Structure formats: structure tokens, C-alpha cells
Structure 1
Amino acid sequence: MSESWASSPAVRASMRGNRRRDTRPELEVRRRLHAMGLRYRVDFVPLPKSRRLRADIVFTRVRVAVFIDGCYWHKCPTHYRPARTNADFWSTKMQGNVERDQRVTAMLRDHGWTVLRFWEHESPADVVETIAAEVASRTRALDG
């Protein structure tokens, strides 16, 4: 078998089936935000020249970018467990994800955006409460 990120065809099929967007936690948060009357963009690029920089939920007018990070892919301190197979590859990959997340957050903040990051395991009700409060605060500041 050639050197690959997947240790077997079954693992490869499973990993390729993971969604980049519209995950269960993200959909639940979006449903609740929509029910509150909040409108947003989905899987949106807040900075035009950074096509790889995509936020899960974006409130463009008030410049709030929301990320709902998966525990495995973003190394949640509570739930992340290192891969046992092909460990060097996956360790490097996950550390790269964490570093990219930090760069993206810094870049958005440098351009005047508020960045909210949540873990997929957090309560959707709590996540929505935090998002709604930030959007309301930013809206009040704009409307002055």
C-alpha cells in the first residue's frame, strides 16, 4: 500500500464523508438563530482576498464571524484523542489546523471583525445566547 493519510480504504471513505459545512451542531445553532429573527450568511468569506478563510456563520453588517469547530479536527482540549494509526501525519495535520485557526482569528480581528469560536460539544442554546448578545451589542454600537 502506498504512503497515504488513510490507513485503509474504509478509513479513507469514512474521513472523506466528513462534512466541511452543515454539520449537526452548526445546523442546530443556525436554526435557533433564525427562529430568533437573526439573519446571517453561511459558509461565507468575510475578507474578499482570502478565499480559503470561510466562517460558518457571518453577520456582515456588524462584522461578526462565527466558527463552530469540530473537537477532532481542531484539537478540543476536552475531547481530542490523537490518532493511533498514521500518528505523525495526523498530529502534523491537526497542529496545522490549530495554527490556521489562530491566523484566521488574528486576520479577521485585524480587519475589525469580532470572532466567536465554539466547540461542537457546546450547548446550542448557550452558543446562540452568546452570538445573539454580541450581534445585539454590535448593532447598538453601529446604530449609536
Structure 2
Amino acid sequence: MGQRPACPTDPARSALMRRVRQRGTTPEDAVAVVLRDLGIFYRRNVRSLPGSPDFANKARRFAIFVNGCFWHRHPGCPKTTTPTRNREFWLKKFDQNVARDAAKTAALEAAGFGVIVVWECETKDAEGLRRRLAEELKE
């Protein structure tokens, strides 16, 4: 049996990763539905705020990030796996993502915004998500 050729990236894997969207994802749409049902007004992908939160309301001073469990390293979630191929690259990438998330949150909090992080896996339970957002966004 021959060894695999030394290839830093697999073309099929690269194609798969290119298809991962950053905006307009299914988890974001689930959060939008809950916010509308709660009668909470928001803007999507607010580029004028630090980190361009997925949802924000400047008057009510809240920002919501909808994070993918894999990309943003949701603690304890089974989706938070690390690829075995090119492991050092992935570990560095994930560390940078987590550091960037912390910096975005700190900048928003310094500007007086409450920051909520909704994890991808939380969007599977619509009623649980509804309860959580209603509690965190009550006036």
C-alpha cells in the first residue's frame, strides 16, 4: 500500500469549505423568525458596529452573533471537532476566530451594547431559543 501524497489541502475539502456561507445562514434565519415573533425590531449584519453583528438594535443597545459551533468552538458541543488533516493550520485558525470573537464582544460592550451569542446548535430548539431571547432581551 502506498502512502498518501503530501497535500496540504484536499481539493474536495477546499470546495466544501468555499460553500460555507457567512451571511443568510439557516441558523440566522431561525433567530430572525424568533425575533420577529417576539416583536423585536432589528437590523441584520450591521456593518457600522464593531464586528458587524448578525442582528442589532442601536436604540435598544443589543447585538446578537449567531456562531457556528465548528468555526467558533462552542465549548462542549459535539460539532466542535478538529480536522486531523493539516491540524496545526486548523488549531491556529480556530484560535484566531475565538480571539476575534472576544475582541468584537469587548468592543461592543465598551460601546454600551449587550452582546448575545447564539450557537448554531441552539437554533434547532425553536421554543428554547424563543425563551432565551425573550429573557435576555426583555426591557
One fold, TM greater than 0.5?
Answer: yes
The 5 Å alignment of 1:1-144 reads 7-47=9-49, 50=50, 53-77=51-75, 78-79=77-78, 80-122=80-122, 123-137=125-139
Determine helix, strand or coil for the equivalent of 1:121.
helix
**How far 1:2 moved relative to its partner?**
9.5
State the TM-score, normalizing by the size of structure 2: 0.84
Q: Over the residues paired in the alignment, what is the CA RMSD in angstroms?
A: 2.0
State the TM-score, normalizing by the size of structure 1: 0.81
Contact kept, 8 Å, 1:40 with 1:59, in 2: the verdict is yes
Cα pair distance change 1:86/1:40, threshold 3 Å: same
Query: Where does structure 2 lack aligned partners over 5 or more consecutive residues?
Result: none
Q: Which runs of 4+ in 1 moved over 6 A?
A: none
Question: Taking every aligned residue pair, what percent have the same amino acid on both sides?
Answer: 33
Tell me the number of residue pairs that the alignment of Structure 1 and Structure 2 aligns: 131
Query: Where does structure 1 lack aligned partners over 5 or more consecutive residues?
Result: 138-144
